Amino acid sequence: MFEILGIPLTALFGQLLIGLINGSFYALLSLGLAVIFGMLNIINFSHGAQYMLGAFAAYLLLQYSGLGYWPALIVAPVLVGITGMIVERLFLQWLYKLDHLYGLLLTFGLALIVEGVARNFFGSAGLPYTVPESLQGGRNLGFMFLPNYRAWVIVASLTICIGTWFVIERTRLGAYLRAATENPTLVRAFGINVSRMITLTYGFGVALAAFAGVMAAPVYNVSPQMGSELIIVVFAVVVIGGMGSILGAIITGFGLGVIEGLTKVFVPEASNTVIFVIMAIVLLVRPAGLFGRRG
């Protein structure tokens, strides 16, 4: 059988597919971060906590109101998005004129509070959440066994990512949004409610994180620290892709998922550092990131 560095080709295809699946989670999360930073100039360090809230919301909806996975995919992001909008109205709106650092500190503090409260009520071991009936099982592709749920993750993630990119870059609403961040005074002069748009955008970014959380609940351990484990990697993805670039976040998310997947095969011990090594190299060569347009 044809082998590359001791790994048979069929096994490699399997790992590439796994990498693509992980990349879907990275892409979804970094999309939310890129939207928030690109549109609002806030470094949203509470993104990981909001991802965790999405997963917890899915669990609580199942426990207390019997709402399963499919309704939770819509309800949980809406609920968490609303809390995001409240945070924006109460805290973040005062920070737009200040240095980025203040937004970072505030959102980081919020993340610690949310995580601590969740750990206090639920413990750290995690909560059970199973794959929905309709997506259980999988099919044997010959080179690997692909669970149906993981295939669904790729499809859903690609759809949301492309849809978001389309709305922001190609529709009138997206144009208003991009204009509002570049020159809010002028856009306000045209009669558009800029602050409401900004609140809704933050809410949308948070809802994206919560959506990723609901998608993760059946397959990853639903625990209070699930967000903090992932968020550092996602930030690295966004930095590599370019902090303001939506397309950059999507492409880098999928790409880095694949690279991490390959590292897990060849040098598994290095799999959680390879993304940071790449980030260091990219920042040396192209400080604005691969697709970034800001200095």
Partner 1 sequence: MRKTLGLAALAATLACGGANAQQVNVKIGVLSDMSSLYSDIGGAGSVVAAKLAIADFTAKNPDVKVELISGDHQNKPDIGSQKANQWYDVDKVDMIIDTPNSGVALAVSQVTASKNKIFIVSGAAASDLTGPKCNANTIHWTYDTWMLANGTGKALVKTGGDTWFFLTADYAFGHALERDTAAAVEANGGKVVGKVRHPLNTNDFSSFLLQAQASKAKIIGLANAGGDTINAIKSGAEFGIVKGGQKFAGLLVFASDVIALGLPTAQGLTLTETWYWDMNDANRAWTKRWQAERGAAGKFPTMVQAGVYSGVTHYLKAVAALKSAADGKAVVAEMKKTPTDDPLFGKGTVRADGRKLHPAYLFEVKAPSESKYPGDIYKIRATIPAEEAFRPLKEGNCPLVSG
Nearest approach in angstroms of CB 148 to partner 1 is: 9
Alpha helices per DSSP H over 66-171:
69-90, 100-122, 148-170
38 versus 218: smaller Cβ distance to partner 1? 218
Q: Is 68 in the site for partner 1 (CB under 8 A)?
A: no
> Least distance to partner 1 from the beta carbon of 123, Å?
5
Which listed range, 99-107, 159-167, 236-244, 265-273, lies at the site for partner 1 (CB under 8 A)? 265-273
**Alpha-carbon span 194 to 200, nearest angstrom:** 10
**Contact yes or no for 127/57 (Cβ under 8 A):** no
Cα 283–Cα 286–Cα 292 angle in degrees, nearest 5: 100
223 interacts with partner 1 by CB under 8 A:
yes
**119 lines the binding site for partner 1 (CB under 8 A):** yes
Min separation Cβ 145 and partner 1, Å: 6
Tell me if 290 contacts partner 1 by CB under 8 A.
no
Q: Please, which contacts does 161-169 make with residues 24 or more away whose CB atoms are closer than 8 Å?
A: 161/27, 161/28, 161/31, 161/250, 161/253, 162/250, 164/31, 164/35, 164/208, 164/246, 165/246, 165/247, 165/250, 168/35, 168/246, 169/246, 169/247
Span from 85-93, 155-163, 223-231, 287-295 in contact with partner 1 (CB under 8 A): 223-231
Cβ 138 vs Cβ 148: under 8 Å: yes
User: Which residue in the set 75, 104, 131, 158 belongs to the binding site for partner 1 (CB under 8 A)?
Assistant: 131
Identify whether the C-beta of residue 26 lies closer than 8 Å to the C-beta of residue 227: no
Of the residues 132, 229, 247, 290, which one makes contact with partner 1 according to CB under 8 A: 229
Tell which one of 22, 46, 164, 252 touches partner 1 (CB under 8 A). 22
Closest distance to partner 1 from the beta carbon of 290 (Å): 24
Burial of 6 (0-12, 13-18, 19+ CB in 10 A): exposed
Question: CB of residue 250 vs partner 1: minimum separation in angstroms?
Answer: 19
Q: Whose structure tokens read 């240095």?
A: 99
Binding of residue 232 to partner 1 (CB under 8 A): no
Residue 140, SS3 per DSSP: strand
* Strand ranges, E, within the chain: 3-4, 7-8, 138-140, 145-147
Of 194 and 230, CB closest to partner 1: 230
Told to check if 18 binds partner 1 by CB under 8 A, we report yes
> d(Cα 40, Cα 287) in Å, to the nearest integer?
21
Nearer to partner 1, 8 or 109 (CB): 8
Size of site (CB under 8 A) for partner 1: 42
- Binding to partner 1 (CB under 8 A) within 72-111 occurs at none
C-alpha dihedral (59, 164, 205, 193), degrees to nearest 10: -130
Min dist CB 261 to partner 1, Å, is: 6
Q: Is residue 124 a contact point for partner 1 (CB under 8 A)?
A: yes
Which residues are near partner 1 by CB under 8 A? 8, 11, 14-15, 18-19, 21-22, 116, 119, 123-128, 130-131, 137-138, 144-145, 147, 149-150, 218-221, 223, 225-226, 229-230, 261, 264-265, 268-269, 271-273
